[in-house]
Structure formats: structure tokens, C-alpha cells
Amino acid sequence: MIHAHKIKIALSALPKNDWWGSGIVAYPDNDMMVDGAIPNQSVLEHEYQKLVSLIERLGLETVIVPFSNTLEKEGKFDFIFMRDHFLCNKNKKIVMCNMRLEERLNEGKFAIETMKQSGHTVNYLPTQDCLAEGGEFFYLSKENILLSGLCRNNLKGAESMAELMEVDQLHIIESDGYHLDTAICPIFNDEYDCVGINCAKEVFDDKNYHILKDICKKYSWELLDIENRDMKKSLEARSAMNCLTLPGLLVGTSPINNEQVIDFAHQNNIHMHVSNVSQFNLSGGSVHCLTNELF
């Protein structure tokens, strides 16, 4: 499938030194990170190149953001997760995020120059107490809707992001996923209409699951439950679900082995691709985290 929509995909370049070569430093609120794990650098480089090649083979242009020497010296290797740093709307407007974790403060500023060079205007949240991280959002460009989690975001950050992104509607979706993209994944048809939502049901309590269900009903989105009460299986399934999701496309680190989702994808002409990013998974991130849409 060659992608017809004019979307660019921003990715970080790899750092010059081995990525987390001295061992991953896990954050307390991220249940998907493997503390102390040392990624296999040769495998990591191969996985990175395979992902970039697949995105380009699908007809999408890539924008590679240089990895800052400053961040390397400070040991802030999770800059690689380009998703976290900004959101972009269909008017080529970038809104920079404010990270909750002190360890990741000011990472995003190293992406700003590349964004300006690519023809985007860059905007900022009004105050530092507006907490908003890119993995906590899904921007539905056709509907002009913003979906937001509230784990690493706060309400002020989500509302400020929605205002600056100039969306028509903000929906808050609370779960125990540390980012919204570890709890749900929208699915788009060829015309960029949202037609379904993959959902890791185990990270929702009854109240918030019913809120999500009501949102899906309101917009006639199919709610596709993937429930795994076993922790290991849950982490694997949520990592697989953490896809780059584009019109008619889902690109994930491993296959989504759920018959309901597979049937839905087939019925709606959704092409599912796998680009294994196992070494990045060790730090809690997957394909959605490594990529970011530029309109």
C-alpha cells in the first residue's frame, strides 16, 4: 500500500553513543520499562533502519531530527521517543509539550529548529504547570477531535493543548496506562475517518471504560476490546497495540493477535504491518512513541 495522504513522519536520529549503553533507568510510573536492561546496539540499529525503510516504502516522507550532543552528555536518551515532544495540527501548527518527569524536562527544545525548517509554526503551552506529553494524546485530524489521557497530563495541560491545537472537541479518557497510547489506539479508514478504537480493557476501571464506550457510541466508532489480565500478556499486547496509526494503516512492533481486531481491519481495508522495535520496547516505548505525524 502506497500512502496517499500528505503526511510526514518525524523520528529522532540515533545518538552517537550506544542507546542506554550503561543500562536503562526506569521511571517509577512506567510499568513497561525494564530497569537496568542494556539494549543490544547492533539489533537496535537494524530495527531502527527497518522502521525508517518501512515508513518510506509506504510512501511517507521521513523527517529525521538530530540527536543533541547535550542530551547525550546528560544521559537523556529517551529523546528518541519523538512522540512525546509535540503535537501538530492540520494547519502545520506545532504545539510543544511540557513533560511531567524532571528527568525529561526541556528535551523537546532540541526538536524545535527541525520543525521550523520543515515549515511549521511552533507554539508553547501558556505555563510550565500545564503538563502535557505527546504519548497522552491522539489527534483525529478529520474530525478535529483531541483525545487525552490524564496520567502524565493534567487537566490544565490537556485543555491548554486542545485550545492551542484549535480542535472542536476534547475528550478525556482516563486509565491506568502511563500514556494514553498504552491504553487505546484509534483506527482510521482510507479517508482518515476514525472508525474504531482498540482498547486494553484491563487498564480501565468500570466507570472510565463506560465513558470510553459512550464516546465510541457517540461517534459510531467500533470499540475493540483486547483484555489480558495476566500482566506479562497485557504488557506484550499493549506494546503491540501502541501502533503508528494512519489512514488505512497500523504499524506495530509485533502482530495484534486478536481475531476481532484482525476481522475489523480486513473489513475496513486496514493494512497491518510489523516493524519490530524490541530494543526500544525495553525502555517502555513502541512504534507510536518513536514516530510523530507532521501535517
Give me the pLDDT at residue 2, please: 59
Question: 60-76: b or e for each residue (b if 16 or more CB lie within 10 Å)?
Answer: beebebebbeebeeeeb
Domain boundaries in the chain? 8-294
User: What is residue 138's predicted lDDT score, i.e. its pLDDT?
Assistant: 98
H-helix or E-strand spanning residue 107: none
Nine-digit cell at 267?
473489513
Predicted pLDDT of residue 137: 98
| Strands 249-252 and 271-274, sheet pairing | parallel
Specify the pLDDT at position 3.
61
pLDDT in the model for residue 260: 96
What CA–CA distance (Å, rounded) separates 26 from 282? 9
Query: Can you read off the three cell numbers belonging to residue 226?
Result: 483486547
Distance CA 62, CA 176 (A): 32
Q: Which three cell numbers stand for residue 38?
A: 542494556
> If one looks up domain 8-294 in CATH, what number appears?
3.75.10.10
CA–CA separation, 227 and 233 (whole Å) = 9
> For every residue of 118-162, which 3-state class applies, written as one string?
CCCEEEECCCCCCCECHHHEEEECCCCEEEECCCCCCHHHHHHHH
pLDDT tens digits for range 65-115: 999 999 999 999 999 999 999 999 999 999 999 999 988 999 999 999 999
Distance CA 207, CA 199 (A): 15
Question: CA 234 to CA 174: how far, in whole Å?
Answer: 18
What does the pLDDT read at residue 31?
85
Which residues of the chain, if any, have pLDDT below 50?
A: none
Nearest one of 105, 108, 63 to 84, comparing CA atoms: 108
Name the one residue in this structure whose C-alpha cell is 493534567: 154
Give CA–CA dist 180/151, Å, rounded: 8
